[in-house]
Structure 1
Amino acid sequence: MTSPHHNLTEAASDAAIDTACRVLRLPTMRAQFTDTANRAEREHLSYRGFLAELLMAECEDRDRRRSERRIRAAAFPRQKWLSDFDYRANPTINPAVINNLATCEWIRKGEPLCLIGDSGTGKSHLLIGLGAAAAMAGFRVRYALAAKLVNELVEAADEKQLTKTIARYGRVDLLLIDELGYLELDRRGAEMLFQVLTEREEKNSVAIASNESFGGWTKTFTDPRLCAAIVDRLTFNGAIIETGTQSYRLAHTKAQQQLKVVE
């Protein structure tokens, strides 16, 4: 039987550890200390082994929390992971190319990426999936719909906040612009979008998804010179992936309907 004095020392030690973990902001060590200490006694872990286990648990948890914060900050409209992408449904897309992009080397080099293809061919899935992979790898990522981004810039300009807003979009390591080419932008909106791209040029990566091939971009950017400059910014040293014309969303829906008919 342990002496009351020993119990008191152990209780005092536990209290001191609890307080120290709070002060040093080590929530995982604080939560796991008792269980890990008990297991260390049972399994006769060395002091070094015990300390290593606690510190590693804190580091892993901190990494996980950071990744979660970066995913939240990216403001993705929905969760999409590259691991869920169905390459069989869209044979146009080469898995090796996507796996290579998932290493994030292009983001380290500040290179652009364009995903061009019809609706339902997996552009947004790949855009968000690559963005999520970048966030998990430690990059600051931001997702925006082209129309929403332009509206935000126009509003910022009206409130004399344009420089600040452009700087905020300039800071992230990877800016994802989805649904570029769905609507015509007036000259002012197009110029502001161009300013964002210029701010990021050859420093930080931009990835876009568009349902229009570059030839059709004059519908979005009606000024031909501005259009050419934007295409130039988005393709210089960058990767262009064509996701094709066969909508696999449509194919999936048709297959489901056929199954119902068979049933």
Structure 2
Amino acid sequence: MRLLATFTLMLLSLPSLFGQEIVNPFCPPEDHLEVYKVVEQMPLFPCAGCADEDYAVAKARADKAMLDFIYAHREYPFKAVRDEAEGMTIVSFIVEPSGCLSGAQVVRKAGRNDFAESALNTVKAMIDQKLIWVPGLKNGQPVRVEFNLPIKFKLDQTTGQPEEYKPRNYSPTRQQEPQRSAPVPSFYLSADENIEIGFDYDYERTTLAVKYDSYVKQNVVLKLYDETGAFIREVPFKLRNRYQEKVLSNQLSLGPLTTFKLVAENGEVLVEGEIRDR
């Protein structure tokens, strides 16, 4: 169920992108150490103070910072816009114990060479800017972790132009008119899942909206926590469609910093983050 550029990198053909790594001159790979795919605390994109915060809180802020970076540096290829093409490319890299990135390469294509090139260039921008991640931890110690980063290319259905990234609390209609005929969810974009999750405050109700880029159907539970991490409530529902909405409550009060987890039946956390009050 795993989900979801401004620097020039000369690539030849689509097949050549696979197995071709970006060499980071600032990050000698520690090849003598084991590479893990899953650890107790996965690596986090750099954000101020994240290394010293509770992991769940830090992860939500780091994911948001990473999305900001991706949308600021990812270029939507002109030919893809002309072709009305959309897709998702996954770039894999190693977050070394020092927090630097090594071995970046495309591991999943979106069917187009230009998407793959743009996605790879987005990660190259992180390397060129010498961004240092919070390393993954196993048994409390930093280790080498393989990180798969999905980068989406999606067009606005109205304009036909690349869809712009909007903060989770962005709602253009709220500023233009006091009432809305239909909810406009404020989406949280998960960095490592094919799920986009949003909460809409429609005056008298709170609506959960989910965009789910998979046809896998399953029962899930939404768990809500307050700013102290204390459990508030859980809401079971079924993922059945690629887009669906569910009214959570007519009187659900969400504080200024409410966190959430969307959990599968087997206990796997599909996506987690924070809900900021408008």
Q: TM-score, normalised by structure 2?
A: 0.25
| Structure with higher RCO (Cα < 8 A, 6+ apart) | 1
- Higher alpha-carbon Rg: 1
Q: TM-score, normalised by structure 1?
A: 0.25
